[in-house]
Chains A and B, each alone.
Chain A
Amino acid sequence: AQSVTQLDSQVPVFEEAPVELRCNYSSSVSVYLFWYVQYPNQGLQLLLKYLSGSTLVKGINGFEAEFNKSQTSFHLRKPSVHISDTAEYFCAVSSRNTGNQFYFGTGTSLTVIP
């Protein structure tokens, strides 16, 4: 089974500063990687995904992530955060071996400080 580690449970950052949320996964072939955002009392919304191809993936709301196979990482970045980015962020992994099953990280709570 896959495992996903989000190293930072809470990340405070000032408005307009850059941010990186870290995600590492256990090694496997043909992984598919996702970042979801969850606002309070809402479901999960897909930010971006890596299935294959270019290792730099751009998503919604100005977020991007880079797939690094050698370091088994998929860190999420944004060059300038807004107050509205305050939310919980989940990294998730699936693979051909696991079919449709997702393995979620424990989440990172991003707080943007005015």
Chain B
Amino acid sequence: DAMVIQNPRYQVTQFGKPVTLSCSQTLNHNVMYWYQQKSSQAPKLLFHYYDKDFNNEADTPDNFQSRRPNTSFCFLDIRSPGLGDAAMYLCATSRAEVGSYEQYFGPGTRLTVT
């Protein structure tokens, strides 16, 4: 089945230690998104890629970076995680075509910062 895959599902890192979360998709969608979701809150968009074009949200901290080496993979790098970065991180994809606005979500990676 075509899907969005996130690895790992659970990640523990130490305060200040860089961490990378990964997302892959078999849907061949050209748009990929990273969301941060804290407990009992809605997902908050961090950034998205439209093909290779990177679009950063204005309030996304510089501590968060992203890479998209090819259509299928996208990475979220947190350069120096703080305790406030503990959250669920969701990857999503969509097709950038008129009438295809649905986003497909992965299962998420729950990040714990110790």
Contacts and interface: CB of A to CB of B under 8 A. Distances in A.
B106 A102 contact: no
A28 B101 CA distance: 16
Contacts of B40: 107, 109
Interface residues of B, number: 26
B94 A100 contact: yes
List 8 tightest A-B contacts by C-beta distance, closest first: A43-B105, A104-B42, A44-B105, A43-B107, A32-B101, A43-B108, A94-B101, A43-B106
21 contacts: A42-B107, A42-B108, A43-B105, A44-B90, A44-B92, A44-B105, A45-B105, A46-B102, A46-B104, A51-B99, A90-B43, A94-B101, A100-B31, A100-B103, A102-B45, A104-B42, A104-B43, A106-B42, A107-B41, A107-B42, A109-B40
Interface of B: 4, 6, 31, 40-43, 45, 48, 50, 88, 90, 92, 94, 96, 98-99, 101-108, 110
